[in-house]
């Protein structure tokens, strides 16, 4: 199995973080979309492991859920109008 050089991996992750789609990232980095997807899964798993180990006993006094609320509200609105 081929391993991407670190510099190419960083380039791909930076593109995804900036909001590029998987296909656009694949084209710009000149790699397979499967390569982009596999790298994204690997990085996600590494981030989850880091988060699970590093974040402990956080007391939340405020939780901001604006985006979640607007998404839920939009879905409820669609149901009530019968669309």
Model confidence band, residue 70 (pLDDT cutoffs 50, 70, 90): low
Nearest to 40 by CA among 64, 56, 17, 61: 17
Looking at residue 69, its pLDDT comes to: 52
Q: Where are the domains of the chain?
A: 6-81
Q: How many whole angstroms separate alpha carbon 41 and alpha carbon 29?
A: 17
Per 3-state DSSP, the chain is made up of helix, strand and coil in percentages (nearest 5) of: 70, 0, 30
What letter does residue 61 receive in the DSSP assignment? Answer: S
pLDDT digits (tens, 9 = 90+) for 14-67: 999 999 999 999 999 999 999 999 999 999 999 999 999 999 898 989 887 666
Looking at residue 18, its pLDDT comes to: 94
């Amino acid at each position: 199995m081929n391993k991407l050089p670190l510099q190419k991996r960083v380039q791909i992750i930076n593109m995804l973080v900036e909001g590029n789609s998987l296909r656009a990232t694949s084209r710009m980095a000149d790699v397979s979309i499967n390569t982009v997807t596999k790298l994204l899964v690997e990085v996600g798993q590494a981030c989850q492991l880091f988060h699970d180990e590093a974040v402990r006993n956080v007391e939340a006094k405020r939780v901001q859920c604006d985006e979640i609320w607007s998404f839920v509200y939009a879905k409820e609105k669609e149901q009530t109008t019968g669309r």
